[in-house]
Amino acid sequence: MGSRGRHKPTSKLPTINFRRKFKEIYKLGFVKSLRGGDTGIGKTLEELFGIPENNVSNDFQFGGKIIELKSQRAKASSRVTLITKSPYWDPLSAEEIIRKYGYPDAKGRQALKVTLTATAFNARGLKLALDRKHNRLNVVHERDGVLCYFKIDELMERIRTKLAQNLLVVFAEVKKIRGKEHFHYCRAYYLSTLSEENFERLLSEGIVVWEFRMDIRRHKTGKRGLFVRDHGAGFRISEKHLPELYAKREEIAP
């Protein structure tokens, strides 16, 4: 999922009637992947949709709207990064949290690499807690209370810059024929209007999680002292639940 901060001029985007095009693609049945590896599903779909190879993004336009095309394997359960954003380190700093609730890693560094949900405390006694009254998502410890926090509206602002406001998600069944992946693009949803209410619900249900991935290490450049290394702490969501972030969801009939 790329940043939505810059769009190509609409005059350079192909115009595609996606409802009609999806019906045509559905009738093709299983189509041989045009590229090996994980990117084959997207490359093959873009080709079938008629999005040019030199199109920097996988956007198209229809009805005066810019729409992003996204493909997913129907049975995929892996999480993707929604956004990365550091919390407000208050009342504790990142280093204080790692020292107090972390553990020595394989290299002897004090580290904390855990997944936090809003449904239960993890093995380190940490979880997320929504505080809608104060517009906060708190990181809490089961005994010590709030350790740091995010502002919910700022998280949503970051999500809106990361995800398209209009998104066409196409799911594909996958099978191998003579050792080659083939895709049947069998289900599609047109999504619009990212919803803060839905984001909060997905957090409260443990579908959106926050992964804390940090350790404390020494500088290698001759500098004295220690520093906190962030390995990409961020909010993640299972790909199959991505459509639920949107308030409006239209299933495209094949």
Instruction: Look up the CATH number of the domain holding residue 178.
Output: 3.40.210.20
Is 5 among the domain residues? no
Binning pLDDT at 50, 70 and 90, where does residue 8 land? Answer: low
Indicate the range of 137-141, 150-154, 223-227 predicted with least confidence: 223-227
Q: Are residues 131 and 26 in the same domain?
A: no
Is 25 among the domain residues? yes
Q: Are residues 31 and 100 in the same domain?
A: no
Q: Are residues 71 and 87 in the same domain?
A: no
Indicate the range of 18-32, 58-72, 113-127 predicted with least confidence: 58-72
Q: Are residues 113 and 224 in the same domain?
A: yes
Task: Determine the pLDDT at residue 220.
Answer: 77
CA 89/CA 254 separation, integer angstroms = 49
Is 102 among the domain residues? yes
Domain that holds residue 34: 10-75+165-192+243-252
Instruction: Look up the CATH number of the domain holding residue 110.
Output: 3.30.70.3570
Task: Determine the pLDDT at residue 5.
Answer: 47
Q: Are residues 92 and 204 in the same domain?
A: yes
CA 167/CA 17 separation, integer angstroms = 14
Is 4 among the domain residues? no
Q: Are residues 33 and 135 in the same domain?
A: no
Q: Are residues 202 and 186 in the same domain?
A: no
Q: For residue range 25-45, what is the model confidence (pLDDT) as tens digits?
A: 999 999 999 999 989 999 999
Q: Are residues 173 and 112 in the same domain?
A: no
User: How many domains is the chain built from?
Assistant: 2
Task: Determine the pLDDT at residue 6.
Answer: 44
CA 65/CA 224 separation, integer angstroms = 53
Burial 181-210 (b: 16+ CB within 10 A, else e): bbbbbbbbbbbbebebebbbebbbeebbbb
Q: Are residues 119 and 14 in the same domain?
A: no
Is 67 among the domain residues? yes
The identity of residue 3, as a single letter, is: S
Q: Are residues 40 and 98 in the same domain?
A: no
Tell me which residue of 194, 207, 87 sits closest to 136, measured CA to CA.
87
Residues in the chain: 254
CB atoms within 10 A of CB 26: 17
Is 205 among the domain residues? yes
Q: For residue range 207-247, what is the model confidence (pLDDT) as tens digits?
A: 999 999 999 998 777 677 788 888 878 999 998 899 999 99
